[in-house]
Amino acid sequence: MTEKKPNILIGLDNIQRKPQDEENLNTLFYKMFTTTGGSEVLKYLKSLTIDAVAGPEISNESLRHLEGQRYLVGLIQRRTNKGLSQTTIQEKSNG
């Protein structure tokens, strides 16, 4: 018995999409951020956000701003990773 995929799912960004649309987004992020240039851009964005340390003097507003930036960079990384796993699964099932 084959499993039927849902028509709509909640994506990594908590937005409802068709499964194919979600997979397409992940594939695009994978193709973009695994190139040499894309990898360097992601490394740069991580250095500004995820790797940044906020001291006790940071204001509530600045911390919220930094956390929003971290969320976006984390989302890019998660979609890139998901695109990699999708590609790996497709390659194994095709070969």
pLDDT tens string 46-85: 999 999 999 999 999 999 999 999 999 999 999 999 999 9
78: which 2 tokens? 């998660």
6 pLDDT more than 70: no
- Domain membership of residue 46 (yes or no) is yes
91 pLDDT more than 90: no
For 13, list phi and psi in degrees, rounded to 5: -100, 15
How confident is the model at residue 22, as a pLDDT? 95
The domain containing residue 27 runs over which residues? Answer: 9-94
- Give yes or no for a contact between 85 and 29, defined as CB atoms under 8 angstroms apart: no
32: which 2 tokens? 């973009």
- Domain membership of residue 3 (yes or no) is no
Q: How many domains are contained in the chain?
A: 1
1 pLDDT more than 60: no
